[in-house]
Amino acid sequence: MGKKWGHYAVGGRSQPVTCIYCGRLTPRVKAIPVRKGSWLDTKVIPGLDRRKVFIPSRKAYACISCAKHRGLL
């Protein structure tokens, strides 16, 4: 019948991603997406409008154990 836990996408094996905290390889469907922003904080600079400034961020992934430890779940 197949697995019905909801962790796996239909269609076979998912691509492994690297955890940004510990470096463990985890399937992408099990990993927790995390937005890593830049060091620039818009609250520090007065008079800066967040809508007019581009703040670069990238999508990274955390494994289940690191996400639980850091309170991301």
Q: Is residue 23 part of a domain?
A: yes
In this prediction the pTM is 0.64
Give the total number of structural domains in the chain.
1
> What residues have CB less than 8 Å from 48, skipping those under 6 apart?
42
Q: Is residue 5 part of a domain?
A: no
Domain span including residue 21: 14-37+55-73
Q: Is residue 62 part of a domain?
A: yes
Q: Is residue 8 part of a domain?
A: no
Residue 12 — pLDDT band, cuts 50, 70, 90?
Answer: confident
Residue 49 — pLDDT band, cuts 50, 70, 90?
Answer: confident
